[in-house]
Amino acid sequence: MVVLGIESTAHTFGIGIVENGKILANVKKTYTTEKGGIIPIEAAKHHKEKKEEIYLEALNKASIQEDKIDAIAFSQGPGLSPCLLEGLRFTKELSKKLNKPIIPVNHCIAHLEIGRLTHAEDPVMLYVSGANTQIIAYSANRYRIFGETLDVGVGNFIDNFARFIGIGFPGGPMIQKLAEQGKSYIELPYTVKGMDITLSGILTNLKQKVDKINRLNNPNLKTLPTHPNKDNFFINNHIKLRASGDERDYTIADLAFSMQETVFAMLVEVAERALAHTGKKQLLLGGGVACNSRLQNMAKIMCEERDASFFCPENSLLVDNGAMIAYLGEIMFSKGIHVKPEEIDGLDIKPRQRTDEVEVSWK
Ligand code: ATP
Ligand code: FE2
């Protein structure tokens, strides 16, 4: 069986092709900005412009003709409406052209299910992406949320901090590099509430500290200037900025380092508690922020200490991608879940669909 998967929930337009659980192609293009965050309409325009090219490249990579495709899976939600609509439109077009059924897939659950490739069987899942931060485990036909962020997702939080110091979107990879140059740990609010976390207070605190560095080093500037996000210019330039903190001097790199140490410790603490409560013995990471090697390390250490196994898919399957949609689509299709070509007109997007809303009838 060959299933094609279409991802378009936010910044990335991706097409994956899977045959009997094996990924044949995983092609994507991501909308990025040099400064500022994601503009949904612009991202949707990006998807519209790139979709045909990505489709052809995916077929080419998989070395198959389009008539070999048995079904088309797509990300139905959650996500940004203009982006989701672009994906749905293309899905319907293909379904009509090829006369093949459609499988509507929940994006977050696709981030979880692709973890099967790592041979995780029944894990607690730490799902850390742009818009979402959830600790999830499967129980009685649903993916249950044991803990989550009460305000913003950790990826958006990191991107917001990055934007404040002049880095474009996405900020996560650059912040990781900057954090590697940090030397002192600066205390930040540690905001775990039961099984949930909040991040906006930490963001405010960080911004105040950045302002302090800025004022001390550039007395005439109100905010940091924006610098080209390339050639390490930003990192080399800004780690030289220092400020007298409450107790000691700190640099922007120290703040990036301290942010990672604090926020990742919060995530790992809640994940550990979920392991303890559920009695499960496996932890699986998912979502774009899971590309961060410091987060991976901290999670790995926690697992070793409590005799649990650690699983993490490769980076190309952690960030948004079409292969995870195709992969889950194939599993669902094999259990008879699909919408026939003659019924697709009523099919719509679900921008606010929650992980625990979906009845998992394919397991
Ligand atoms: P969602 O799944 O909630 O819809 P999304 O579609 O925005 O989220 P992903 O592609 O899963 O997201 O993740 C994107 C996020 O991952 C961005 O916020 C980006 O900054 C972050 N990210 C990527 N690499 C790293 C890294 N090395 N360290 C930290 N964050 C990272
Ligand atoms: Fe995602």
Tell which of 316, 331, 347 closes a domain.
Answer: 316
Question: What are the distances in angstroms from CA 44 to CA 88, 89, 171, 176?
Answer: 12, 11, 20, 28
pTM of the predicted protein model? 0.92
* Inside any domain, residue 344: yes
Q: Is 167 in the pocket of ligand 1 (CB under 6 A)?
A: no
* Inside any domain, residue 172: yes
Instruction: Find the 132 Cα to ligand 2 centroid distance in Å.
Output: 8
Question: What are the distances in angstroms from CA 123 to CA 30, 114, 168, 311, 333?
Answer: 29, 12, 34, 9, 23
pLDDT at 231: 43
Encode pLDDT of 59-108 as tens digits: 999 999 999 999 999 999 999 999 999 999 999 999 999 999 999 999 99
Instruction: Find the 343 Cα to ligand 1 centroid distance in Å.
Output: 34
* Inside any domain, residue 220: yes
Q: Is 325 in the pocket of ligand 1 (CB under 6 A)?
A: no
* Inside any domain, residue 205: yes
Q: For the chain, how many residues are written?
A: 363
Tell me the torsion sign for CA atoms 354, 356, 361, 363. Answer: positive
Same domain, residue pair 45 and 147: no
Q: Measured between alpha carbons, how far is 81 from 250 in angstroms, rounded to an integer?
A: 41
* Inside any domain, residue 363: no
Same domain, residue pair 20 and 162: no
Instruction: Find the 282 Cα to ligand 1 centroid distance in Å.
Output: 22
* Inside any domain, residue 321: yes
Same domain, residue pair 185 and 72: no
* Inside any domain, residue 152: yes
Encode pLDDT of 272-321 as tens digits: 999 999 999 999 999 999 999 999 999 999 999 999 999 999 999 999 99
Encode pLDDT of 129-165 as tens digits: 999 999 999 999 999 999 999 999 999 999 999 988 8
Query: In this structure, which residue's CA is closest to atom 7 in ligand 1?
Result: 130
* Average pLDDT value for the chain: 92
Encode pLDDT of 20-38 as tens digits: 999 999 999 999 877 767 8
Same domain, residue pair 323 and 233: no
Same domain, residue pair 176 and 242: yes
Same domain, residue pair 180 and 37: no
Residue 228 has pLDDT above 60, yes or no: no
Same domain, residue pair 289 and 305: yes
Q: Is 115 in the pocket of ligand 1 (CB under 6 A)?
A: no
Q: Is 7 in the pocket of ligand 1 (CB under 6 A)?
A: no
Same domain, residue pair 157 and 282: yes
Same domain, residue pair 257 and 322: no
Q: What is the mean pLDDT of residues 209-232?
A: 61
Encode pLDDT of 187-197 as tens digits: 999 999 999 99
Query: In this structure, which residue's CA is closest to atom 13 in ligand 1?
Result: 288
Question: What are the distances in angstroms from CA 323 to CA 75, 76, 153, 240, 356?
Answer: 11, 15, 23, 42, 22
Q: Is 131 in the pocket of ligand 1 (CB under 6 A)?
A: yes
Q: Is 322 in the pocket of ligand 1 (CB under 6 A)?
A: no
Tokens of 173: 């990879």
Q: What is the mean pLDDT of residues 190-207?
A: 97
Give the count of domains, the chain: 2
Q: Is 286 in the pocket of ligand 1 (CB under 6 A)?
A: no
Percent residues over pLDDT 90 in the chain: 82
Percent residues over pLDDT 70 in the chain: 91
Query: In this structure, which residue's CA is closest to atom 2 in ligand 1?
Result: 129
Contact 3, 71 (CB under 8 A): yes
Q: What is the extent of the structural domain holding 280?
A: 123-316
Same domain, residue pair 213 and 173: yes
238, with CB counted inside 10 A (0-12, 13-18, 19+), is buried
H/E run at residue 105: strand 102-106
* Inside any domain, residue 362: no
Contact 24, 64 (CB under 8 A): yes
User: Between 209 and 347, where is the model more confident?
Assistant: 347
Residue 60's CATH number: 3.30.420.40
